[in-house]
Each structure stands twice: as C-alpha cells, then as structure tokens.
C-alpha cells in the first residue's frame, strides 16, 4: 500500500490526457496536462508549496504566522489549503470580481477573506495588492505573498511541471501552450523543455488587449471576464528568450472552448484552459509543422470554480456571450412562430355574467382583465367566478362588475418574450398562469398578448 504523509505530497504528478475530439489528419495531436487534478484544484498548489517551503527554510515564516495573500483566486485557495500544514493562519485579499465558488473555497479551507473593489490598478490604495501588503505589515507575524513577481512561480513550474511533462511524453513534444498572467507557468515549463530540446516551440495565450503580444503598446487597460489571465504590463517572470509565439483569443471564443471541452470530452476546466485550447488550435492551424509529434497544453484549473459564471447560461446571457453558440432558450423559443388564438379578455367594468359568457364561449378557464385603455389589471378565473356566484345569493349578483365583485387576482406575473426559459420555469413553481406582454408597435407601450399556463410549458418541455 502506498500512502502519503500530508496534503503536500499530493501536489503534482497530474495526468496528461489526449484530446481526441480535436484530432485532424496530418496535424499534431493535442494533449492536456490537467492541473485541476492537484488537491487544491489548480496549478497554483505547486507554487504555494514552494513559497511556503522557501519561507520556512529562510525563517521568514515561523509557526503562528499569518500568510496574507493578494490573490485573484487560485493562489489564495492553495495557500489557504496549505496554511494548516505549516501551522499558520491565512488571510486572502481578493478583488470582488473573483467567483463566489473561489471565495467559498478559501473560507472552507479556513482562510479569512477580505474582498476589495474590482478593476482598480494594482497601485491604487484600495487595490487587493495594496490592501494585502498593508495588512501584513500591520500584523505581528504577517507574511505577504505577492501575486505577480514571485520567482517561486517560475521555479516551481520549472522543477516540477516541466519535468513531469517531459517524462510523461517521453520527450516527444513539438510545442507547449499555456495561458499567461505572471508568465511563471509558461516560462518555467518552457525553460525546462527548451533545455531538454531547443526545437520545442513555446506558445503563450492571453486575452485580447493584454500586454505580452505587443510589448510596445504596454500599460494599456484591457478587460477580460476570464479569471487569472492577462496583464497590463510585461511581468518580470516573462522570458522572451523562451517564448516563440503569443496568441490573443477573445473571451467569447475562450469560453465556448471551455464549454465544448466539458460537453464533448467530459473535461471540466476553467476559462483560461478554454483560452489555451483555442490558442493551441489557432497555432496548430497557422504555424505548426505537420506531423504526429504532440502539442501539450496546460489546463490551469478546474471548471467547478466557474459554475456560477462561464458554465451558467444566465450569466452567459447577462455577460452577452450568448451569440451564435448560445444554448440559451427564451420564452420566444416556446412561443415560436406558432399562431396563437386571438386573445380573449374582459374589461374590469364588465359584469360577472359577461365574463362567464366569454369563458364558456371560448372554452377557456381564465381571462386577463384590462382597463378600458388596455392596461393589465389582473386575471379572473372560472374558480373565482364560481366561488363568487355560490356565495352571493342576492338577485342581480351576476350583474356586478368584476371590480366590485372582487374576482380579479392582481398577483399575476408578466413575461417578456426574451425571458430565459429557466426563469419562466422558476416562476411557475409559484404560479399556475402568467401573462405574456409585448411592445405595441403603434403606441410603444407594453400590451397584453397572451396567457401562458403550466400545460403550455409542460407541452413544450415534453416535445423538446
Ligand atoms: C486559472 C489560471 N489560469 C492561468 C494562470 C496563469 O498563470 P501564470 O501567472 O503562471 O502566468 C493563472 C494564474 O493565476 C490562473 O489562475
């Protein structure tokens, strides 16, 4: 039986898997190094382990210290996971743009999490880096971990990830592709592989507008919805002598590749892995030598920490990543081009008798109730009318208006055609009927255009 002594021993030795769905005749096959298999779910476990071991050896991290990390997520999770093993506490200072799953993971692993505003430059006093530095300086035994320039980023990947890839592939690698932020992962592995075989190409992939592809256009702000990738500056760990090519990929394409990997190969990894895969495919198509010597791509983390973002249809819709590869269904898909019967309704000042006549003539069991200028008041149903007539013994009760008879239910939800089907379903967990609204092309106002019932929804879902 082989056992390990602690969580530290479980870091590294991650698997490499062939991406069979992306094979093309005559072009090199793609393999992925799955860093999600580390115990903390990302490549940053290797980095955190080396940072803490170095700090302990150099006596900068005595037991009882508080590790304060400025992290956009993964490094914080890894340090939170290892802090206990070093008999330390951990505080993660993280921008609010980080996913809720990552924050929950840091907390679950015992860290205190301090959330700072997103989108601040790293030298703004309220930025996560400045706040973390300040907090660690104020603590009695604070140990600050910097997120972009620590040489351990490069060294850990040189020593462990690079050596593993070389061994696992038996030295048969034509190119290595990785996402870039600090460039530690790219250049650490790249340097190791190039030392073994200078013919191996090293390709970095970053979001559109990030700095590495065009160093001369440095310091330009750029925006990405992907976690942990891209940079406004060329970071000191970047080693131009090791890197052959930089590819830029849009968030939309990166995310659709991550989703495709999950759906087609069961490989659930983050947006930076989708970015790396898309960059590798582009490189293979435009620059790779034909042949069968594999391209190895580094997948930095697990997709489970992005379930509320890139794997969530509603988030995709709100972030406007729907587009052509959208899997987002709306009420419009349900209503389709089907011609719906002309809407039958009652006015609020019509009487109970008239409403009953309309219901029975149309064979329906509910009617939207409108004002005379066609604004929605609510809904009346067969049941409410029956209940009213049974309780009113007076002659002439059926001549009372719907308003006076108090048979209008105003608590009826309204739906727009572009409402996601998931939202419609949620709504029907509390309501039996909803009113569909549409823009009136003549008045520009919203007008009632139909009723949707639970049966309509069931019918659609069953036929789908
Ligand atoms: C998800 C993810 N992908 C890629 C990277 C890029 O790694 P590096 O900083 O080594 O360039 C990171 C770094 O934090 C990351 O968290």
Q: Could you write out the three-class secondary structure of 102-142?
A: HHHHHHHCCCEEEEECCCCCCCCCCCHHHHHHHHHHHCCCE
- Compute and round to an integer the Cα radius of gyration of the chain: 30
- For 179-201, b/e burial (b = at least 16 CB within 10 A) is bbbbbbbbbbbbbbbbeeeeebb
- For 220-236, b/e burial (b = at least 16 CB within 10 A) is eeeebbbbbbbbeeebe
Q: Which of 211-220, 238-247, 376-385 has the lowest mean pLDDT?
A: 211-220
User: What is the tens place of the pLDDT at every residue in 422-448?
Assistant: 778 777 777 788 898 887 767 777 888
Question: Is a pLDDT exceeding 50 seen at residue 339?
Answer: no
In 10 A of CB 109, how many CB atoms?
19
Q: Is 371 exposed, middle or buried (0-12, 13-18, 19+ CB in 10 A)?
A: exposed
Residue 58: which of 152, 134, 148, 131 has the closest Cα?
A: 152
State the fold for domain 44-145: Rossmann fold (3.40.50)
State whether the beta carbon of 74 lies less than 6 angstroms from ligand 1.
yes
Helices H, strands E: what count in the chain?
Answer: 16, 16
In 10 A of CB 146, how many CB atoms?
16
**Whole-number Å distance between alpha carbons of 461 and 464:** 5
Q: Where are the beta strands (DSSP E) in 273-358?
A: 295-299, 346-347
User: What is the tens place of the pLDDT at every residue in 83-136?
Assistant: 999 999 999 999 988 999 999 999 999 999 999 988 777 778 888 899 999 999
Beta bridge partners of 450: 436
Mutate to test the pocket of ligand 1, among 182, 202, 204, 299 (most ligand atoms within 8 A of CB): 182
> What confidence score (pLDDT) does residue 156 get?
97
Q: What is the pTM of this model?
A: 0.72
Question: Is a pLDDT exceeding 60 seen at residue 341?
Answer: no
CB-based contact 31:18 (threshold 8 Å): yes
The pair phi, psi for residue 228, each rounded to 5°, is 75, 15
CA distances from 301 to 35, 39, 88 (A): 6, 11, 25
State the fold for domain 331-463: CBS-domain (3.10.580)
Q: How does residue 199 score in pLDDT terms, banded at 50, 70 and 90?
A: very high
CB-based contact 355:380 (threshold 8 Å): yes
Mean pLDDT over the full length of the chain: 90
Find the distance separating the first CA and the last CA of the chain, reported in whole Å: 51
List of residues 6+ apart from 244 with CB closer than 8 A: 201, 202, 203
Distance 186 CA to ligand 1 centre (A): 9
CB-based contact 380:367 (threshold 8 Å): yes
**Whole-number Å distance between alpha carbons of 115 and 127:** 10
Both structure tokens of 125: 């006093």
State whether the beta carbon of 179 lies less than 6 angstroms from ligand 1.
yes
State whether the beta carbon of 227 lies less than 6 angstroms from ligand 1.
yes
Question: Is a pLDDT exceeding 50 seen at residue 327?
Answer: no
State whether the beta carbon of 89 lies less than 6 angstroms from ligand 1.
no
User: What is the tens place of the pLDDT at every residue in 131-185?
Assistant: 999 999 999 999 999 888 899 999 999 999 999 999 999 999 999 999 999 999 9
The domain locations on the chain are 7-41+156-318, 44-145, 331-463
Distance 210 CA to ligand 1 centre (A): 14
State whether the beta carbon of 228 lies less than 6 angstroms from ligand 1.
yes
CB-based contact 160:12 (threshold 8 Å): yes
> What confidence score (pLDDT) does residue 217 get?
64
State whether the beta carbon of 183 lies less than 6 angstroms from ligand 1.
yes
Domains 7-41+156-318 and 44-145 share a fold: yes
> What confidence score (pLDDT) does residue 241 get?
96
Both structure tokens of 260: 């495709």
State the fold for domain 7-41+156-318: Rossmann fold (3.40.50)
State whether the beta carbon of 180 lies less than 6 angstroms from ligand 1.
yes
> What confidence score (pLDDT) does residue 406 get?
94
Residue 344: which of 320, 363, 317 has the closest Cα?
A: 363
């Amino acid at each position: 039986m082989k056992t390990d002594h602690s969580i530290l021993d479980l870091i590294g030795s991650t698997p490499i898997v062939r991406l069979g769905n992306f094979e093309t005749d005559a072009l090199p096959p793609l393999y992925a190094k799955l860093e999600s298999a580390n115990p903390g779910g990302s490549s940053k476990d290797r980095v955190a382990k080396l940072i803490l071991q170095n700090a302990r050896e150099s006596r900068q991290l005595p037991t009882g210290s508080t590790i304060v990390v400025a992290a956009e997520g993964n490094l914080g999770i890894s340090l939170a996971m290892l802090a206990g093993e070093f008999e330390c506490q951990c505080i993660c200072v993280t921008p609010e743009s980080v996913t809720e799953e990552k924050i929950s993971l840091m907390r679950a692993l015992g860290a205190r999490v301090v959330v700072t505003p997103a989108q601040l430059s790293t030298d703004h006093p309220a930025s996560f880096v400045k706040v973390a530095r300040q907090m660690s300086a104020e603590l009695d035994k604070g140990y600050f971990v910097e997120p972009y320039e620590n040489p351990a980023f490069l060294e850990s990947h040189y020593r462990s990830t690079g050596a593993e890839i070389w061994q696992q592939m038996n030295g048969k690698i034509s190119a290595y592709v990785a996402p870039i932020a600090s460039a530690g992962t790219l250049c650490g592995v790249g340097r190791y592989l190039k030392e073994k075989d200078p013919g191996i190409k090293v390709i970095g992939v970053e979001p559109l507008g990030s700095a590495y592809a065009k160093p001369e256009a440095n310091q330009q702000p750029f925006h990405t919805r992907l976690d942990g990738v891209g940079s406004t500056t060329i970071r000191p760990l970047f080693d131009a002598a090791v890197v052959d090519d930089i590819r830029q990929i849009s968030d939309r394409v990166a995310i659709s590749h991550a989703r495709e990997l999950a759906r087609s190969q069961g490989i659930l990894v983050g947006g930076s892995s989708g970015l790396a895969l898309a960059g590798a495919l582009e490189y293979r198509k435009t620059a790779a030598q034909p042949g069968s010597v594999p391209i190895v791509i580094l997948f930095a983390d697990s997709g489970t920490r992005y379930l509320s973002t890139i794997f969530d249809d509603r988030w995709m819709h709100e972030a406007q990543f729907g587009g052509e590869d959208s899997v987002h269904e709306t009420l419009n898909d349900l209503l389709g081009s089907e011609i719906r019967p002309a809407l039958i309704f009652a006015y609020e000042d019509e009487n109970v008798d008239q409403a009953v006549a309309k219901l029975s003539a149309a064979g329906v069991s509910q009617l939207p109730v409108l004002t005379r200028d066609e604004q929605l008041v609510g809904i009346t149903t067969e049941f409410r009318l029956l209940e009213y007539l049974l309780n009113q013994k007076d002659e002439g009760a059926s001549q009372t208006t719907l308003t006076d008879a108090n048979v209008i239910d105003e608590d009826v939800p309204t739906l727009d055609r572009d409402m996601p089907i998931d939202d419609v379903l949620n709504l029907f967990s509390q309501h039996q009927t909803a009113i569909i609204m549409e823009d009136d092309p003549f008045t520009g106002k919203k007008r009632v255009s139909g009723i949707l019932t639970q049966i309509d929804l069931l019918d659609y879902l069953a036929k789908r």
